[in-house]
Chain A
Amino acid sequence: MAIVLVFATIHHALAAEKSAVLVAAASAEFAAGPVPELIPLPASIKSDCGFGLLVERAEALNDDRMKELIQGGLTYTAAYRRIGKEHNYERIG
């Protein structure tokens, strides 16, 4: 289960990655997943930035709580839930 956050600019995305890494390290709710990281966005997600923040999390953590946890004062422009392991995403916010 993963969520991808899209930001207005690459500068926002880089700052968000740093913040998310710190948040994830301090949160048991993210312990089950890998470290959040910026990934190239698939063509299906429209973004000038080109990269999005991928955050994996435990099954028990719902999308709203997850977004609340990782936002950390940073504003993303869109959020997508990854469906399966392919580049299929569903917009959730």
Chain B
Amino acid sequence: MSGSVKRIDARGQPCPQPVIMTKKALDENGFETLEVLVDGPTAKENVSRFATHAGHAVEAIDGADGSSTIRIRVGKAAGTPGGAAPSPAASTTEAQADALCGASATTVFISSDKIGSGDDELGSLLMRGFLRTISESGERPARIILMNSGVKLALDESTALSSLRALAAASVEILACGTCLDFYKVKDKLAVGRVSNMLEISGFLLEGRTLSV
């Protein structure tokens, strides 16, 4: 079946159906590429994120009518010639897919490496405690956005690094502001998550429920 393509149409499907349809399609074998047609940025983001975490190469092509085609090359994650082994996200359940869209799809926006103003030592401890608590909680956000000095939490010397790594391992997306990493000259020390930009970050902040810490 070399070069074969399977196509599914998830337009008009409420969240999390596009992710569930993608997962079910990927569970079937016999094709090299899966193309998922979606309408809307949320479905595009969720399907792309799910497939990437599952170890596949993903390319999103935007159509003129607002729809997008997500092309998923099965088991061909970038940088892994033989294909990446599926991550734990490959076994995403329907409940987890539902969490991408439902009440749990919260963005946590962190704009400082401390909580509140006042004593810095206390503020640092509170931030560390907050991240540790949500990393051990059953109700995790969909993503955490780090801006300004908040990016320092994701650096290799951060005392909050283990909590952020635990969250990332639980499929919580960690986004660090690239401008901020540049400003503090610490881009090479980012130890968890990925670099993001204002366009993507503002999109997430405007799209759903945001908790600002």
Residues of A in contact with B (beta carbons under 8 Å apart): 10, 14, 37-40, 50-51, 87
Chain A binding surface, main DSSP class? strand
Is B122 part of the contact surface with A, judged by Cβ < 8 Å? yes
User: How many residues from B make CB contacts under 8 Å with A?
Assistant: 9
Chain A hits for B129, CB < 8 A: 38-40, 50-51
For the residues of B in contact with A, the DSSP-based class is: helix
Partner of A14, one of B125, B133, B136, B159: B125
Tell me the smallest distance from the CB of A30 to a CB of chain B, in Å.
Answer: 17
Q: Tell me the number of A-to-B contacts counted with CB atoms below 8 Å.
A: 19
Contact in complex: B132, A51 (CB < 8 Å): no
Is there contact, CB below 8 Å, between A10 and B122?
Answer: yes
- Contact of B56 with A by CB under 8 A: no
Contact of A40 with B121 in the complex, beta carbons under 8 Å: no
| A51 contact set on B, CB distance < 8 A | 125, 129
Q: How far is the CA of A38 from the CA of B133 in the complex (A)?
A: 12
Q: Answer yes or no: B128 CB below 8 A from chain A CBs.
A: yes
Residues 148-189 of B contacting A (Cβ, < 8 Å): 159
Q: Which residues of A contact B128 (CB under 8 A)?
A: 37-38
A residues near B133, Cβ cutoff 8 Å: 40
- The contact sample of 19 A-B pairs, CB cut-off 8 A, is A10-B122, A10-B125, A14-B121, A14-B122, A14-B125, A37-B128, A37-B159, A38-B125, A38-B128, A38-B129, A39-B129, A39-B132, A40-B129, A40-B132, A40-B133, A50-B129, A51-B125, A51-B129, A87-B136
What does the 1/0 interface line of B104-147 toward A look like (CB < 8 Å)? 00000000000000000110010011001100100000000000
